[in-house]
A and B are shown apart, each in its own frame.
Chain A
Protein backbone atom coordinates (compact mmCIF):
# COMPACT_ATOMS: atom_id res chain seq x y z
CA UNK A 1 0.00 0.00 0.00
CA UNK A 2 1.27 3.46 -0.77
CA UNK A 3 1.37 6.17 1.89
CA UNK A 4 -1.67 7.90 0.49
CA UNK A 5 -3.81 4.79 0.29
CA UNK A 6 -2.87 3.67 3.82
CA UNK A 7 -3.90 7.11 5.05
CA UNK A 8 -7.24 6.75 3.27
CA UNK A 9 -7.66 3.35 4.86
CA UNK A 10 -6.82 4.71 8.32
CA UNK A 11 -9.36 7.50 7.97
CA UNK A 12 -11.95 4.97 6.84
CA UNK A 13 -11.31 2.74 9.86
CA UNK A 14 -11.48 5.69 12.21
CA UNK A 15 -14.80 6.72 10.69
CA UNK A 16 -16.15 3.17 11.00
CA UNK A 17 -15.17 3.00 14.68
CA UNK A 18 -16.77 6.38 15.36
CA UNK A 19 -19.98 5.25 13.69
CA UNK A 20 -19.88 2.03 15.69
CA UNK A 21 -19.40 4.04 18.86
CA UNK A 22 -22.31 6.30 18.01
CA UNK A 23 -24.65 3.38 17.37
CA UNK A 24 -23.57 1.65 20.59
CA UNK A 25 -23.92 4.86 22.59
CA UNK A 26 -27.41 5.49 21.20
CA UNK A 27 -28.50 2.57 23.35
CA UNK A 28 -30.85 0.74 20.99
CA UNK A 29 -29.58 -2.55 22.36
CA UNK A 30 -28.10 -3.53 25.71
CA UNK A 31 -24.31 -3.72 25.69
CA UNK A 32 -24.28 -7.51 26.10
CA UNK A 33 -25.93 -7.67 22.68
CA UNK A 34 -24.21 -4.83 20.91
CA UNK A 35 -20.76 -4.17 22.32
CA UNK A 36 -19.13 -0.78 22.30
CA UNK A 37 -15.69 -0.14 20.76
CA UNK A 38 -14.29 0.66 24.19
CA UNK A 39 -15.56 -2.63 25.62
CA UNK A 40 -14.06 -4.61 22.75
CA UNK A 41 -10.86 -2.64 22.99
CA UNK A 42 -10.48 -3.37 26.70
CA UNK A 43 -11.18 -7.07 26.05
CA UNK A 44 -8.49 -6.94 23.40
CA UNK A 45 -6.03 -5.32 25.81
CA UNK A 46 -6.94 -7.82 28.49
CA UNK A 47 -6.48 -10.75 26.15
CA UNK A 48 -3.14 -9.47 25.01
CA UNK A 49 -2.11 -8.64 28.55
CA UNK A 50 -2.83 -12.07 30.04
CA UNK A 51 -1.26 -13.63 26.93
CA UNK A 52 -4.33 -15.76 26.26
CA UNK A 53 -4.56 -14.36 22.71
CA UNK A 54 -0.88 -15.02 22.14
CA UNK A 55 -1.13 -18.64 23.27
CA UNK A 56 -4.34 -19.11 21.33
CA UNK A 57 -2.73 -17.70 18.21
CA UNK A 58 0.34 -19.89 18.59
CA UNK A 59 -1.76 -23.00 19.15
CA UNK A 60 -3.92 -22.25 16.09
CA UNK A 61 -1.02 -21.35 13.82
CA UNK A 62 0.86 -24.49 14.82
CA UNK A 63 -2.12 -26.62 13.82
CA UNK A 64 -2.58 -24.59 10.70
CA UNK A 65 1.04 -24.97 9.65
CA UNK A 66 1.08 -28.67 10.31
CA UNK A 67 -2.21 -29.37 8.56
CA UNK A 68 -1.36 -27.13 5.68
CA UNK A 69 2.01 -28.74 5.02
CA UNK A 70 0.51 -32.21 5.20
CA UNK A 71 -2.13 -31.04 2.72
CA UNK A 72 0.57 -29.56 0.51
CA UNK A 73 2.53 -32.82 0.51
CA UNK A 74 -0.54 -34.92 -0.30
CA UNK A 75 -1.77 -32.38 -2.83
CA UNK A 76 1.55 -32.31 -4.68
CA UNK A 77 1.70 -36.10 -4.87
CA UNK A 78 -1.94 -36.47 -5.97
CA UNK A 79 -1.78 -33.50 -8.33
CA UNK A 80 1.38 -34.79 -10.01
CA UNK A 81 -0.11 -38.26 -10.35
CA UNK A 82 -3.34 -36.94 -11.86
CA UNK A 83 -1.48 -34.72 -14.30
CA UNK A 84 0.55 -37.68 -15.54
CA UNK A 85 -2.26 -40.01 -16.50
CA UNK A 86 -5.41 -39.43 -18.44
CA UNK A 87 -7.01 -42.38 -16.65
CA UNK A 88 -6.21 -40.95 -13.24
CA UNK A 89 -7.50 -37.58 -14.37
CA UNK A 90 -10.84 -39.08 -15.41
CA UNK A 91 -11.17 -41.16 -12.25
CA UNK A 92 -9.31 -39.74 -9.27
CA UNK A 93 -9.44 -36.22 -10.70
CA UNK A 94 -13.22 -36.33 -10.91
CA UNK A 95 -13.49 -37.68 -7.38
CA UNK A 96 -11.22 -34.95 -6.01
CA UNK A 97 -13.23 -32.33 -7.85
CA UNK A 98 -16.43 -33.71 -6.35
CA UNK A 99 -15.02 -33.97 -2.85
CA UNK A 100 -13.67 -30.46 -3.15
CA UNK A 101 -17.19 -29.07 -3.51
CA UNK A 102 -17.96 -30.38 -0.02
CA UNK A 103 -17.73 -27.48 2.45
CA UNK A 104 -14.72 -28.40 4.54
CA UNK A 105 -16.61 -28.13 7.83
CA UNK A 106 -18.72 -31.09 6.68
CA UNK A 107 -15.69 -33.27 7.38
CA UNK A 108 -15.92 -32.47 11.06
CA UNK A 109 -18.59 -34.98 12.16
CA UNK A 110 -16.68 -37.73 10.36
CA UNK A 111 -13.42 -36.60 11.93
CA UNK A 112 -14.96 -36.67 15.41
CA UNK A 113 -16.35 -40.15 14.84
CA UNK A 114 -12.95 -41.36 13.74
CA UNK A 115 -10.64 -39.53 16.10
CA UNK A 116 -12.88 -38.32 18.92
CA UNK A 117 -12.71 -34.76 20.19
CA UNK A 118 -9.00 -34.50 19.68
CA UNK A 119 -6.22 -32.62 17.96
CA UNK A 120 -6.17 -35.34 15.36
CA UNK A 121 -9.76 -34.59 14.41
CA UNK A 122 -8.99 -30.91 13.90
CA UNK A 123 -5.86 -31.70 11.94
CA UNK A 124 -7.88 -34.03 9.77
CA UNK A 125 -10.40 -31.32 9.00
CA UNK A 126 -7.68 -28.84 8.12
CA UNK A 127 -6.00 -31.30 5.77
CA UNK A 128 -9.30 -32.33 4.21
CA UNK A 129 -10.21 -28.70 3.67
CA UNK A 130 -7.02 -27.79 1.85
CA UNK A 131 -6.01 -30.89 -0.01
CA UNK A 132 -8.66 -30.72 -2.75
CA UNK A 133 -7.85 -27.21 -3.93
CA UNK A 134 -4.14 -27.88 -3.87
CA UNK A 135 -4.47 -31.14 -5.78
CA UNK A 136 -6.69 -29.59 -8.44
CA UNK A 137 -4.42 -26.55 -8.80
CA UNK A 138 -1.33 -28.66 -9.28
CA UNK A 139 -2.89 -31.09 -11.73
CA UNK A 140 -4.64 -28.44 -13.82
CA UNK A 141 -1.65 -26.11 -13.63
CA UNK A 142 0.61 -28.83 -14.99
CA UNK A 143 -1.78 -30.10 -17.66
CA UNK A 144 -2.35 -26.58 -18.93
CA UNK A 145 1.29 -25.71 -19.46
CA UNK A 146 1.48 -24.65 -23.14
CA UNK A 147 3.03 -27.52 -25.12
CA UNK A 148 5.25 -25.02 -26.92
CA UNK A 149 7.17 -24.38 -23.67
CA UNK A 150 7.71 -28.10 -23.20
CA UNK A 151 8.74 -28.59 -26.83
CA UNK A 152 11.13 -25.65 -26.72
CA UNK A 153 12.68 -26.94 -23.51
CA UNK A 154 13.00 -30.51 -24.78
CA UNK A 155 14.52 -29.23 -27.98
CA UNK A 156 17.16 -27.49 -25.84
CA UNK A 157 17.94 -30.72 -24.09
CA UNK A 158 15.75 -30.47 -20.98
CA UNK A 159 14.39 -33.78 -19.76
CA UNK A 160 13.39 -35.71 -16.66
CA UNK A 161 13.37 -33.87 -13.34
CA UNK A 162 15.11 -30.81 -14.81
CA UNK A 163 12.24 -30.39 -17.29
CA UNK A 164 9.82 -30.39 -14.37
CA UNK A 165 11.85 -28.23 -12.08
CA UNK A 166 12.93 -25.66 -14.66
CA UNK A 167 9.91 -25.47 -16.95
CA UNK A 168 6.75 -27.28 -15.93
CA UNK A 169 6.57 -25.94 -12.37
CA UNK A 170 7.47 -22.34 -13.16
CA UNK A 171 4.99 -22.38 -16.05
CA UNK A 172 2.27 -23.79 -13.81
CA UNK A 173 3.11 -21.53 -10.88
CA UNK A 174 0.38 -18.90 -11.39
CA UNK A 175 -2.32 -21.59 -11.25
CA UNK A 176 -0.63 -23.42 -8.39
CA UNK A 177 -0.31 -20.30 -6.24
CA UNK A 178 -3.97 -19.43 -6.78
CA UNK A 179 -4.98 -22.96 -5.75
CA UNK A 180 -2.70 -23.06 -2.73
CA UNK A 181 -4.11 -19.74 -1.63
CA UNK A 182 -7.63 -21.09 -1.89
CA UNK A 183 -6.50 -24.22 -0.04
CA UNK A 184 -5.10 -22.15 2.79
CA UNK A 185 -8.26 -20.11 3.15
CA UNK A 186 -10.44 -23.25 3.27
CA UNK A 187 -8.08 -24.77 5.83
CA UNK A 188 -8.12 -21.64 7.99
CA UNK A 189 -11.92 -21.63 8.04
CA UNK A 190 -12.17 -25.29 8.92
CA UNK A 191 -9.52 -24.93 11.60
CA UNK A 192 -11.50 -22.22 13.38
CA UNK A 193 -14.68 -24.26 13.13
CA UNK A 194 -12.91 -27.32 14.45
CA UNK A 195 -11.44 -25.46 17.39
CA UNK A 196 -14.86 -24.25 18.45
CA UNK A 197 -16.03 -27.66 19.45
CA UNK A 198 -13.37 -28.78 21.84
CA UNK A 199 -10.83 -27.67 24.44
CA UNK A 200 -8.28 -26.93 21.80
CA UNK A 201 -6.42 -23.98 23.34
CA UNK A 202 -6.69 -22.23 19.98
CA UNK A 203 -8.38 -19.04 18.87
CA UNK A 204 -11.56 -20.94 18.09
CA UNK A 205 -11.78 -22.05 21.68
CA UNK A 206 -11.29 -18.49 22.94
CA UNK A 207 -14.27 -17.58 20.83
CA UNK A 208 -16.30 -20.38 22.37
CA UNK A 209 -15.22 -19.41 25.91
CA UNK A 210 -16.42 -15.88 25.22
CA UNK A 211 -19.79 -17.23 24.20
CA UNK A 212 -20.04 -19.46 27.27
CA UNK A 213 -19.27 -16.52 29.54
CA UNK A 214 -21.73 -14.37 27.64
CA UNK A 215 -18.80 -12.01 27.11
CA UNK A 216 -19.59 -10.39 23.79
CA UNK A 217 -16.56 -8.11 24.09
CA UNK A 218 -14.23 -11.11 24.12
CA UNK A 219 -16.09 -12.72 21.23
CA UNK A 220 -15.70 -9.66 19.04
CA UNK A 221 -12.10 -9.10 20.17
CA UNK A 222 -11.15 -12.67 19.22
CA UNK A 223 -12.95 -12.27 15.91
CA UNK A 224 -10.79 -9.23 15.24
CA UNK A 225 -7.65 -11.21 16.08
CA UNK A 226 -8.66 -14.07 13.77
CA UNK A 227 -9.43 -11.66 11.00
CA UNK A 228 -6.14 -9.82 11.41
CA UNK A 229 -4.11 -13.02 11.26
CA UNK A 230 -5.91 -14.15 8.13
CA UNK A 231 -5.44 -10.75 6.57
CA UNK A 232 -1.74 -10.66 7.42
CA UNK A 233 -1.10 -14.10 5.92
CA UNK A 234 -2.99 -13.13 2.77
CA UNK A 235 -1.17 -9.84 2.42
CA UNK A 236 2.35 -10.69 3.51
CA UNK A 237 2.54 -14.07 1.94
CA UNK A 238 0.16 -14.73 -0.92
CA UNK A 239 -0.32 -11.23 -2.26
CA UNK A 240 3.40 -10.63 -2.45
CA UNK A 241 3.98 -13.92 -4.29
CA UNK A 242 1.15 -13.16 -6.71
CA UNK A 243 2.39 -9.64 -7.31
CA UNK A 244 5.83 -11.00 -8.12
CA UNK A 245 4.37 -13.46 -10.64
CA UNK A 246 2.15 -10.80 -12.18
CA UNK A 247 5.08 -8.49 -12.62
CA UNK A 248 7.24 -11.12 -14.31
CA UNK A 249 4.52 -12.48 -16.54
CA UNK A 250 3.08 -9.05 -17.29
CA UNK A 251 -0.39 -9.99 -16.16
CA UNK A 252 -1.19 -6.40 -15.29
CA UNK A 253 -1.17 -4.74 -11.91
CA UNK A 254 -3.82 -5.95 -9.53
CA UNK A 255 -6.42 -3.37 -8.66
CA UNK A 256 -5.18 -1.46 -5.66
Chain B
Protein backbone atom coordinates (compact mmCIF):
# COMPACT_ATOMS: atom_id res chain seq x y z
CA UNK B 1 0.00 0.00 0.00
CA UNK B 2 1.25 3.45 -0.83
CA UNK B 3 1.22 6.15 1.77
CA UNK B 4 0.18 9.47 0.38
CA UNK B 5 0.48 12.85 1.95
CA UNK B 6 -2.74 13.02 3.85
CA UNK B 7 -5.41 15.28 2.47
CA UNK B 8 -5.40 17.36 5.54
CA UNK B 9 -1.66 17.95 5.61
CA UNK B 10 -1.61 18.62 1.89
CA UNK B 11 -4.23 21.29 2.36
CA UNK B 12 -1.87 23.16 4.59
CA UNK B 13 0.43 23.29 1.60
CA UNK B 14 3.56 22.34 3.47
CA UNK B 15 6.55 21.08 1.57
CA UNK B 16 7.96 17.61 2.12
CA UNK B 17 11.12 17.82 4.17
CA UNK B 18 11.97 14.20 3.62
CA UNK B 19 10.76 12.04 0.80
CA UNK B 20 11.28 8.33 1.07
CA UNK B 21 10.85 6.80 -2.35
CA UNK B 22 10.56 3.06 -2.92
CA UNK B 23 13.10 2.21 -0.25
CA UNK B 24 13.85 -1.51 0.07
CA UNK B 25 16.45 -3.24 2.14
CA UNK B 26 17.46 -6.86 2.39
CA UNK B 27 19.77 -8.55 4.83
CA UNK B 28 21.82 -11.64 4.10
CA UNK B 29 21.08 -14.34 6.63
CA UNK B 30 22.61 -17.76 6.84
CA UNK B 31 19.46 -19.30 5.35
CA UNK B 32 18.94 -16.85 2.54
CA UNK B 33 17.87 -13.26 2.18
CA UNK B 34 15.63 -11.48 4.62
CA UNK B 35 13.61 -8.66 3.21
CA UNK B 36 13.52 -6.02 5.94
CA UNK B 37 11.91 -3.16 4.03
CA UNK B 38 9.97 -3.36 0.82
CA UNK B 39 9.04 -0.35 -1.27
CA UNK B 40 8.56 2.20 1.46
CA UNK B 41 7.11 5.54 0.34
CA UNK B 42 6.67 8.19 2.99
CA UNK B 43 6.74 11.96 2.89
CA UNK B 44 7.65 13.77 6.06
CA UNK B 45 6.44 17.34 6.01
CA UNK B 46 8.37 20.35 7.16
CA UNK B 47 7.84 20.72 10.89
CA UNK B 48 5.91 17.47 11.15
CA UNK B 49 6.16 15.08 14.07
CA UNK B 50 5.93 11.68 12.40
CA UNK B 51 5.83 8.45 14.36
CA UNK B 52 6.60 5.08 12.81
CA UNK B 53 5.25 2.04 14.64
CA UNK B 54 5.42 -1.64 13.88
CA UNK B 55 6.13 -5.00 15.46
CA UNK B 56 9.73 -5.71 16.32
CA UNK B 57 11.52 -6.94 13.26
CA UNK B 58 9.53 -4.76 10.87
CA UNK B 59 12.62 -2.80 9.95
CA UNK B 60 11.59 0.52 11.46
CA UNK B 61 15.01 1.12 12.97
CA UNK B 62 16.57 0.16 9.64
CA UNK B 63 14.37 2.75 7.97
CA UNK B 64 15.61 5.36 10.41
CA UNK B 65 19.23 4.37 9.75
CA UNK B 66 18.61 4.73 6.03
CA UNK B 67 17.18 8.22 6.50
CA UNK B 68 20.19 9.02 8.66
CA UNK B 69 22.46 7.77 5.89
CA UNK B 70 24.10 5.26 8.23
CA UNK B 71 22.81 2.45 6.01
CA UNK B 72 22.23 2.39 2.29
CA UNK B 73 18.97 1.13 0.79
CA UNK B 74 19.20 -1.66 -1.78
CA UNK B 75 16.60 0.09 -3.89
CA UNK B 76 14.93 3.46 -3.75
CA UNK B 77 16.19 6.68 -2.27
CA UNK B 78 15.69 9.24 0.42
CA UNK B 79 15.51 12.93 -0.39
CA UNK B 80 16.09 15.76 2.03
CA UNK B 81 14.70 19.00 0.60
CA UNK B 82 14.83 17.34 -2.79
CA UNK B 83 18.48 16.32 -2.54
CA UNK B 84 19.38 12.66 -2.35
CA UNK B 85 20.83 11.48 0.96
CA UNK B 86 24.21 9.89 0.34
CA UNK B 87 25.63 9.47 3.81
CA UNK B 88 25.25 10.55 7.40
CA UNK B 89 25.27 14.25 8.12
CA UNK B 90 24.61 16.74 10.88
CA UNK B 91 21.38 17.81 9.14
CA UNK B 92 19.85 14.47 10.22
CA UNK B 93 20.92 13.74 13.78
CA UNK B 94 19.94 10.44 15.37
CA UNK B 95 19.02 9.95 19.00
CA UNK B 96 19.34 6.28 19.94
CA UNK B 97 17.52 4.02 22.38
CA UNK B 98 20.49 3.65 24.67
CA UNK B 99 22.16 6.91 25.21
CA UNK B 100 25.05 6.90 22.82
CA UNK B 101 26.77 9.48 24.98
CA UNK B 102 30.54 9.29 25.08
CA UNK B 103 31.73 8.06 28.48
CA UNK B 104 35.07 9.86 28.24
CA UNK B 105 33.35 13.25 28.08
CA UNK B 106 31.29 15.21 30.60
CA UNK B 107 27.66 16.08 29.94
CA UNK B 108 28.48 19.50 28.56
CA UNK B 109 31.38 18.18 26.48
CA UNK B 110 29.05 15.58 24.98
CA UNK B 111 26.71 18.30 23.82
CA UNK B 112 29.65 20.27 22.47
CA UNK B 113 30.84 17.31 20.42
CA UNK B 114 28.63 17.83 17.38
CA UNK B 115 29.16 21.58 17.50
CA UNK B 116 32.89 20.98 17.45
CA UNK B 117 32.47 18.77 14.39
CA UNK B 118 30.50 21.60 12.82
CA UNK B 119 33.43 23.93 13.46
CA UNK B 120 31.78 26.17 16.06
CA UNK B 121 34.52 27.83 18.10
CA UNK B 122 35.15 26.78 21.69
CA UNK B 123 33.56 29.73 23.43
CA UNK B 124 30.35 29.69 21.46
CA UNK B 125 30.22 25.91 21.71
CA UNK B 126 30.18 26.08 25.47
CA UNK B 127 27.49 28.76 25.51
CA UNK B 128 25.27 26.81 23.14
CA UNK B 129 25.83 23.56 25.02
CA UNK B 130 24.85 25.17 28.29
CA UNK B 131 21.77 26.69 26.71
CA UNK B 132 20.57 23.29 25.56
CA UNK B 133 21.53 21.63 28.81
CA UNK B 134 19.32 24.20 30.48
CA UNK B 135 16.51 23.37 28.06
CA UNK B 136 16.48 19.84 29.48
CA UNK B 137 16.96 21.19 33.05
CA UNK B 138 20.35 19.61 33.62
CA UNK B 139 22.63 22.63 33.82
CA UNK B 140 23.62 21.56 37.32
CA UNK B 141 25.11 18.37 35.91
CA UNK B 142 27.23 19.95 33.21
CA UNK B 143 30.47 18.55 34.60
CA UNK B 144 29.15 15.09 35.44
CA UNK B 145 30.51 12.13 33.57
CA UNK B 146 28.02 9.89 31.81
CA UNK B 147 28.13 7.08 34.38
CA UNK B 148 27.15 9.56 37.09
CA UNK B 149 23.81 10.25 35.40
CA UNK B 150 20.62 8.20 35.70
CA UNK B 151 19.06 6.57 32.62
CA UNK B 152 16.58 9.41 32.22
CA UNK B 153 19.25 12.06 32.67
CA UNK B 154 21.42 10.40 30.04
CA UNK B 155 18.58 10.56 27.55
CA UNK B 156 18.03 14.21 28.43
CA UNK B 157 21.65 14.95 27.65
CA UNK B 158 21.34 12.91 24.45
CA UNK B 159 18.27 14.95 23.49
CA UNK B 160 20.10 18.19 24.25
CA UNK B 161 23.04 16.98 22.19
CA UNK B 162 20.80 16.24 19.22
CA UNK B 163 18.85 19.51 19.51
CA UNK B 164 22.03 21.57 19.84
CA UNK B 165 22.97 20.47 16.34
CA UNK B 166 19.80 22.24 15.12
CA UNK B 167 19.33 19.54 12.50
CA UNK B 168 16.89 19.78 9.61
CA UNK B 169 15.37 16.57 10.89
CA UNK B 170 15.67 14.90 14.26
CA UNK B 171 15.60 11.12 14.03
CA UNK B 172 14.61 9.32 17.22
CA UNK B 173 15.04 5.56 17.52
CA UNK B 174 12.92 4.37 20.47
CA UNK B 175 14.66 6.92 22.67
CA UNK B 176 12.46 6.35 25.72
CA UNK B 177 12.07 2.58 25.48
CA UNK B 178 14.49 1.83 28.29
CA UNK B 179 13.02 4.34 30.74
CA UNK B 180 10.50 3.81 33.51
CA UNK B 181 6.92 4.85 32.82
CA UNK B 182 7.12 7.99 34.92
CA UNK B 183 10.21 9.38 33.24
CA UNK B 184 8.71 8.46 29.90
CA UNK B 185 5.54 10.46 30.56
CA UNK B 186 7.65 13.39 31.65
CA UNK B 187 9.69 13.12 28.46
CA UNK B 188 6.55 12.99 26.32
CA UNK B 189 5.40 16.23 27.85
CA UNK B 190 8.74 17.98 27.53
CA UNK B 191 9.44 16.77 24.03
CA UNK B 192 6.09 18.21 22.92
CA UNK B 193 6.92 21.51 24.61
CA UNK B 194 10.25 21.64 22.83
CA UNK B 195 8.69 20.65 19.54
CA UNK B 196 6.02 23.35 19.86
CA UNK B 197 8.75 25.89 20.52
CA UNK B 198 11.16 24.85 17.78
CA UNK B 199 8.92 23.37 15.10
CA UNK B 200 11.63 20.80 14.55
CA UNK B 201 10.82 18.09 11.99
CA UNK B 202 10.93 14.79 13.87
CA UNK B 203 10.79 11.16 12.77
CA UNK B 204 10.18 9.03 15.82
CA UNK B 205 10.35 5.24 15.73
CA UNK B 206 8.67 3.23 18.49
CA UNK B 207 6.88 -0.03 19.14
CA UNK B 208 4.77 1.71 21.77
CA UNK B 209 1.47 2.70 20.18
CA UNK B 210 0.25 5.03 22.92
CA UNK B 211 3.58 6.83 22.79
CA UNK B 212 3.20 7.23 19.03
CA UNK B 213 -0.32 8.59 19.38
CA UNK B 214 0.67 10.95 22.17
CA UNK B 215 3.57 12.43 20.21
CA UNK B 216 2.81 12.18 16.52
CA UNK B 217 0.91 14.41 14.15
CA UNK B 218 0.75 11.28 12.07
CA UNK B 219 1.46 7.65 12.81
CA UNK B 220 2.67 5.31 10.09
CA UNK B 221 2.18 1.60 10.73
CA UNK B 222 4.62 -0.83 9.13
CA UNK B 223 3.93 -4.51 8.47
CA UNK B 224 6.05 -7.34 9.75
CA UNK B 225 8.68 -8.73 7.39
CA UNK B 226 8.98 -7.30 4.92
CA UNK B 227 8.25 -3.89 6.36
CA UNK B 228 5.72 -2.11 4.17
CA UNK B 229 3.53 0.85 4.97
CA UNK B 230 0.29 -0.77 6.08
CA UNK B 231 -1.73 2.22 7.10
CA UNK B 232 -1.35 5.70 8.43
CA UNK B 233 -3.32 7.56 11.03
CA UNK B 234 -3.66 11.28 11.49
CA UNK B 235 -3.68 12.39 15.10
CA UNK B 236 -5.47 15.70 15.22
CA UNK B 237 -5.54 16.73 18.84
CA UNK B 238 -4.30 19.85 20.65
CA UNK B 239 -0.94 19.82 22.43
CA UNK B 240 0.63 19.25 24.82
CA UNK B 241 -1.16 15.94 25.05
CA UNK B 242 -1.23 13.72 28.10
CA UNK B 243 0.45 10.33 27.75
CA UNK B 244 -2.63 8.51 28.97
CA UNK B 245 -6.28 8.97 29.84
CA UNK B 246 -7.28 10.94 26.74
CA UNK B 247 -10.31 9.16 25.20
CA UNK B 248 -9.80 10.39 21.65
CA UNK B 249 -6.13 9.40 21.63
CA UNK B 250 -6.99 6.07 23.22
CA UNK B 251 -9.51 5.44 20.44
CA UNK B 252 -6.88 6.03 17.76
CA UNK B 253 -4.43 3.88 19.67
CA UNK B 254 -6.86 0.99 19.83
CA UNK B 255 -7.45 1.22 16.06
CA UNK B 256 -3.72 1.03 15.50
CA UNK B 257 -3.39 -1.78 18.00
CA UNK B 258 -5.98 -3.93 16.28
CA UNK B 259 -4.09 -3.54 13.00
CA UNK B 260 -0.87 -4.25 14.82
CA UNK B 261 -2.37 -7.37 16.37
CA UNK B 262 -2.74 -8.94 12.92
CA UNK B 263 0.95 -8.29 12.30
CA UNK B 264 1.87 -9.55 15.72
CA UNK B 265 0.02 -12.82 15.13
CA UNK B 266 1.88 -13.24 11.89
CA UNK B 267 5.08 -12.59 13.76
CA UNK B 268 4.25 -15.20 16.41
CA UNK B 269 3.31 -17.75 13.76
CA UNK B 270 6.59 -17.24 11.95
CA UNK B 271 8.54 -17.29 15.18
CA UNK B 272 6.93 -20.62 16.11
CA UNK B 273 7.56 -21.91 12.64
CA UNK B 274 11.23 -20.88 12.81
CA UNK B 275 11.52 -22.44 16.22
CA UNK B 276 10.23 -25.78 14.99
CA UNK B 277 12.77 -26.00 12.21
Task: Assess A149 versus B70: contact at CB under 8 Å? Given A156-B117, A250-B145.
Answer: no
Among residues 146 to 202 in chain A, which have CB atoms less than 8 Å away from a CB atom of chain B?
Answer: 148-149, 151-158, 162, 166-167, 170-171, 173
Q: How far is the CA of A141 from the CA of B118 in the complex (A)?
A: 27
Tell me the residues in window 68-120 of chain A with beta carbons closer than 8 Å to chain B beta carbons: none
Q: Known: A152-B94, A249-B147, A250-B148. Is A157-B117 also a contact (CB below 8 A)?
A: yes
CB of B116 within 8 A of CB of A166, answer: yes
Give CA–CA (A158, B165) in the complex, Å. Answer: 12
Q: Determine whether the beta carbon of B102 is less than 8 Å from that of A149.
A: yes
Is B100 within 8 A of A151, CB to CB?
Answer: yes
- Give the Cβ gap from B114 to chain A, nearest Cβ, in Å: 4
The reply to whether the CB of B113 lies closer than 8 angstroms to some CB of chain A is yes
Question: Which residues of B pack against A, CB within 8 Å?
Answer: 65, 68, 70, 88-90, 92-94, 96, 98, 100, 102-105, 113-114, 116-118, 145-148, 161, 165, 171
Roughly how many angstroms separate A133 CA and B113 CA in the complex, as a whole number? Answer: 31
A249 to B114, CA, bound (A): 20
- CB of A248 closer than 8 Å to a CB of B: yes
Quick one: which of B98, B102, B145 contacts A167, CB cutoff 8 A? B102
Q: Which 6 A-B pairs have the closest CB atoms?
A: A250-B147, A156-B114, A157-B90, A152-B100, A154-B88, A157-B117
Asked whether A155 and B113 contact (CB < 8 A) given A173-B104, A248-B103, A250-B146, the answer is: no
Across the interface, name the chain A residue whose C-beta is closest to B114: A156
A250 vs B150: C-alpha distance when bound (angstroms): 13
A162 touches B117 (CB 8 A): yes
Provide the main secondary structure of the chain B interface.
Answer: mixed
Given A148-B96, A249-B147: A156 and B102 within 8 A (CB)?
no
Residues of B contacting A170 with CB < 8 Å? Answer: 102, 104-105
A245 to B114: give the CA distance in the assembly, Å: 22
Residues of A within 8 A of B (CB): 148-149, 151-158, 162, 166-167, 170-171, 173, 245, 247-250
Which residue of chain A has its CB nearest to the CB of B115? A156
Known: A248-B145, A249-B103. A155 touches B92 (CB 8 A): yes
Tally the A-B contacts, defined by beta carbons under 8 Å: 70
Cross-chain contact A156 with B113 (CB below 8 angstroms): yes
B143 shortest CB reach to chain A, Å? 11
A155/B94 in contact, CB under 8 A: yes
Asked whether, in the complex, the Cβ of B103 is within 8 Å of the Cβ of A157, the reply is no
Chain B residues contacting A166 (CB-CB under 8 Å) are 113, 116-117
A63 to B70, CA, bound (A): 47
In the assembled complex, how far is the CB of residue B1 from the closest CB belonging to chain A, in whole angstroms? 30
B70 close to A151 (CB less than 8 A): yes
Contact A151 B94 (CB under 8 A): yes
Residue of A152, A154, A155, A166 contacting most chain B CB atoms (<10 Å):
A155
19 contacting pairs across A/B (C-beta < 8 A): A148-B96, A149-B100, A151-B88, A151-B96, A152-B94, A155-B90, A155-B94, A155-B171, A156-B113, A157-B88, A157-B90, A157-B117, A157-B118, A166-B113, A171-B104, A245-B104, A248-B145, A250-B147, A250-B148
Residues on the B chain within 8 Å of A171, using CB: 102, 104
* Cα distance A166–B103 in the bound complex, in angstroms: 12
CB distance from B195 to the nearest CB of A (A): 19
Minimal Cβ-Cβ distance residue in B for A169: B104
Measured between beta carbons, the chain B residues less than 8 angstroms from A148 are: 96, 98, 100
Chain B residues near A167: list those with CB within 8 A: 102
Q: Chain B CB within 10 Å — which of A151, A153, A171, A173 has the most? A: A151
B27 CB to nearest A CB, Å:
15
Q: Which residues of B contact A245 (CB under 8 A)?
A: 104
CB distance from A12 to the nearest CB of B (A): 34
> Measured between C-beta atoms, what is the minimum distance from B236 to chain A in Å?
31
Not counting A151-B88, A151-B96, a sample of 13 additional A-B residue pairs whose C-beta atoms are within 8 angstroms of each other reads A151-B100, A152-B100, A155-B68, A155-B88, A156-B165, A157-B90, A157-B114, A162-B117, A167-B102, A170-B105, A171-B104, A249-B104, A249-B145
Question: Which residues from A are CB-within-8-Å of B105?
Answer: 170
How far apart sit A173 and B148, CA to CA, in the bound complex (Å)? Answer: 20
B70 smallest CB distance to A (angstroms): 5
User: Within 8 Å CB of B147, what residues of A?
Assistant: 249-250
Q: How far is the CA of A152 from the CA of B100 in the complex (A)?
A: 6
Q: How far is the CB of A240 from chain B (nearest CB, A)?
A: 16
Give, as a whole number of angstroms, the nearest-CB distance from B163 to chain A.
12
Residues of A within 8 A of B90 (CB): 155-157
Q: Could you say which residues of chain B place their CB within 8 Å of the CB of A157? A: 88-90, 114, 117-118, 165
CA distance in complex: A162, B116 (Å): 10
Say how far B78's CB is from chain A's closest CB, in angstroms. 14
Closest Cβ–Cβ distance, residue B154 to chain A (whole Å) = 12
CA distance A166 to B102 in the complex (A): 10
In this complex, what residue of B is CB-closest to A148? B100
Closest residue of A by beta carbon distance from B88: A154
